[in-house]
Structures are given as structure tokens and as C-alpha cells.
Amino acid sequence: MQITGYKSQGVAAAVDLVNAVTTVEGDASFAALREILRVNGFFWHEFEERDAEPLRRWGRTLREFFDAAELETAVSLLNELMLELPMHPHLADHDPHGLHLHFAPPTARLPHRFRASTLMQLSELVVQHGLGRTGTCAAEGCDRVYADTSRAGRRRFCSEACANRTNVAAFRARRRTPRTPEGTG
């Protein structure tokens, strides 16, 4: 499975949506949601006011996936959602992606297509990596989620900012720890 390029866009879109609608500092406004669709290569110009609430609901549903501590929990959630969502795989060939799979019926509206893509691509990620590439940010006080699409796959933070903040805090904590000179304790 490709975890970069077009096929990972559903994963990145899922992360963006979950962070927008389920975190303290997230922005779940219509404009913010439309921007998520745009940057992740979805047909954002089809996005209408009535699509916003279904998308927010989907973000709250997918949060459970990122929060799942056990693979079994994540798998049964994905399975349940795949049974609920009408799928209709077909090949599409539109710019700029080239030939690729769509999972929702061609007549489906944007929220349905978005649900199908994110669901299938998260499922592919789980097939390939279990829960090793997704999770909630390890930084203290951060409630954002992440997906790691890098080759190394060692990511634990939602952002560079959180990684740096945590490293600095750990460094300071080490410096604060009093050291007893050897032989005097």
C-alpha cells in the first residue's frame, strides 16, 4: 500500500477533520471544514452548508478510532462503519490524481464520498500497520490526533511544536534533578 500521495489523502483528511471537531482549539466552522476538503484534494467547491453537520458527526465518530487503545477495538469500529456505509467501488480518472479508486457510488454527495474515502484508507493503513501509525499526541495537554505516513513511522506527536515542547520539558526536568556525586551517598 502507498502511504504517501493520493492514497494517504483520506488518512490526512481524517486527521484534520478529527482535530477540527473534537479538540479544544479545533475550528469546526464551515470555512474551516471547506479548507480541510480543499487541502486534502476533495471536491471542496461542492461543499454546502447542509454538509457541515454530517461532516462534524463523522469527525466525532472517527475520533473513536484514533483513541482506540486496542487493535481489536479499532477493527470492530471500522467494520461496523463499513457495514453501515453504502459502498460502491469504481475507478475514477480525474485531475490531478490520475486513475484511482473511489468507494462511494458516483452519484453520492460529498459527505458520503468523504466518509467512504477516509474509512477505506484508514482501514488500509490498519491492514498494513495495525495501530502503529495513528494515535493521540503524546505531548502533555494536547488532545490532537495524528497519522504517521513517513517511512520510518516513529511519530508520536501531532506537530513539530508539540514534539519540541515535550523535548524541552524533558531536558529541563533532567537538569533540575539533583545529582549526588559518586561515593558520597
Nearer to Zn ion by C-beta: 139 or 147? 139
Residue 115 or 144 with smaller CB distance to Zn ion: 144
Distance CA 76, CA 107 (A): 28
Q: How many CA atoms lie within 13 A of 153 on its CB side?
A: 11
Min dist. Cβ of residue 139 to Zn ion (A): 4
DSSP 181: P
Q: How far is the CB of 80 from Zn ion (least distance, A)?
A: 28
Nearest distance in Å: CB 142, Zn ion? 3
Beta bridge partners of 47: none
Closer to Zn ion by CB, 67 or 124: give it.
67
Rounded Cα distance between 46 and 65, Å, is: 27
Q: Considering the complex, what minimum distance in angstroms separates the CB of residue 184 from Zn ion?
A: 41
Q: Which helix (H) or strand (E) holds 136?
A: strand 134-136
- Which one, of 126, 128, 115, lies nearest residue 62 by Cα? 115
Residue whose CB is less far from Zn ion, 25 or 72: 25
CB-CB contact of 132 with 155 (8 Å): no
The residues of the shown chain that bind Zn ion, judged by CB under 5 A, are 137, 139, 142, 144, 158, 162
